[in-house]
Amino acid sequence: MSDDLKKGLEGVLVAESGLSSIDGDAGRLIYRGYTIEDLARGASYEEVLYLLWNGHLPTEDELGPFTDALMEEREVSEDVLATMERLAAADERPMAALRTAVSMFSASEPEADADPEDLDATLRKGRRITAKIPTALAAFERYRLGEEPVDPHPDLGLAANFLYMLTGEVPDDVAAETFDQALILHADHGLNASTFTAMVIGSTMADIYSAVTGGISALSGPLHGGANQDVMEVLIEIDESDLDHREWVEQATAEGRRIPGFGHRVYNVKDPRAKILQERSEELADNGEDKWYKYTTTIEQFLTEEKGLVEKGIAPNVDFYSGSVYYQLGIPIDMYTPIFAMSRAGGWIAHVLEYQEDNRLIRPRARYTGPEDQEFVPIEER
């Protein structure tokens, strides 16, 4: 057994997966063999969920019942809504509210007593979680605004329905398509921290509610899921300053300040998801305010070309453009990470199911660095 220490498990292989693959040098991401570009531009989020959960893209005959089943599970219990209202009144953080909501979903689970090794039942539970998360999140935001929740729309897909429940208005095609693409882009991304957390929990054969709750908890950390919020806060700071956005960035970098949304643990070139969201940001700018698109593109050009970040293996990641895209869609900034979780839940569920097909309890070890041969002293003599 090797005694080599790999901090953060960097470079350590812990599982085999057929779900997603990342080539950080080429800037390539695939889900089950399909490029992220083809999926984002040609499929819906529901099709991608089907692909991740079932191993192939659905036919029209398969997609219809699958989408219907998701729609039928959108309602959340009155207890969940009441809790969201109380948490909103208490000014709880959205990610913490989402963590609580998913835990509560299990109280109304019709297959709560299913055998943990019944993976078909686990998938059905995962489908219910995925369908209910948008409803709970939208209700929480409505309560924060002092408004009543909006019931799910019977004719809208998951992405458009979330925007509808958030605002009470059916989104236009550009907004719905943009948000649907964003969900696809965030659905899976290898063994990131939150996915690995969900897998570790799943390896104990705990229920899928526990695994998804654990994934949400891991994603809530600022080193994992909050970068798009950081990006937007910086863009707003730039907008409110007396400096031109280029001048602001020059001054900030001269002071040693890091601009969020650049660099990635895996990618050494521009994140392929960032390229797609940049296109959507431009399209949204054509239909409305264009300053956020101008800010991001100018900052990218300045940092990558003039500051030479590309040569250093530092390029825009998905968060650099997702923040401004969500802002252009009218989504509150502190809801960005919960939306990340709403999308990534599909990937967490897929990884848990895949791992449990040939399960082995994940149990690494640590190198002990504490004292040896301590002499015990009874408490009355200490």
Report the alpha-carbon distance of residue 265 to residue 239 in Å, rounded: 29
Q: Strands, E, within 32-92: which ranges?
A: 34-35
Tell me, yes or no, if 264 is annotated catalytic. yes
Tell me, yes or no, if 23 is annotated catalytic. no
Own/partner pairs for 357-366, CB < 8 Å, 24+ apart? 357/119, 359/202, 359/203, 359/205, 360/203, 361/203, 361/204, 362/14, 362/199, 362/200, 362/203, 364/9
29 by DSSP, 3-state: which?
strand
What backbone phi and psi angles, to 5 degrees, belong to 206? Answer: -65, 160
H-run or E-run covering 22: strand 20-23
Catalytic option among 319, 334, 351, 358: 319
Phi-psi region of 308 (alpha: psi -120 to 50; beta: other; left: phi over 0): left
Report the alpha-carbon distance of residue 295 to residue 283 in Å, rounded: 15
317 by DSSP, 3-state: which?
coil
CA 356 and chain centroid, separation: 22
Q: What is the CA radius of gyration of the chain?
A: 22
Q: How would DSSP label each residue in 341-361?
A: HHHHHHHHHHHHHHHHTT---
CB neighbour burial string for 38-77, b if at least 16 within 10 angstroms, e if fewer? ebbeebbbbbbbbbbbeeebbeeeebeebbeebbebbebe
Catalytic option among 186, 189, 245, 264: 264
What backbone phi and psi angles, to 5 degrees, belong to 34? Answer: -95, 135
Which residue matches tokens 């992405």? 159
Residues annotated catalytic, as ranges? 264, 319
